[in-house]
Amino acid sequence: MDDTSAHDPTGNVEAVRRLLAGAGLAMAADEFERMVRVYPLLRAQADGLFAPEFAGVDFGLGFDPTVGFN
């Protein structure tokens, strides 16, 4: 266990490690440490997209590349 994971009771190090591995990404140690630090905020923001108050809301995720070029 490295020093970063020794101080990570919530498992953020392992979560970030798995996400990066799944995406096939590698990064420098300082970048990895920053990702571990910001991961809880990013995770909370992503989880917030699935909040019950947004049930049935269309976030307009469609894209029409012809709009504005007619």
29: in domain: yes
d(CA 13, CA 5): 6
pLDDT along the chain (70 residues), means of 10: 61 94 95 95 86 77 73
Number of domains in the chain: 1
Does a structural domain hold residue 31? yes
Is 61 a member of any domain?
no
Say if 58 falls within a structural domain.
no
For residue 55, tell me if it sits in a domain.
Answer: no
**CA 32, 4, 7, 14 torsion-angle sign:** positive
Q: Which domain holds residue 45?
A: 12-49
Whether residue 17 is contained in a domain is answered as yes
Which pLDDT does position 1 carry in this prediction? 42
Please give the C-alpha separations between residue 54 and each of 31, 32, 33, in angstroms, as whole numbers.
33, 32, 32
69 domain-assigned: no
Which pLDDT does position 12 carry in this prediction? Answer: 93
In a domain, 1, yes or no: no
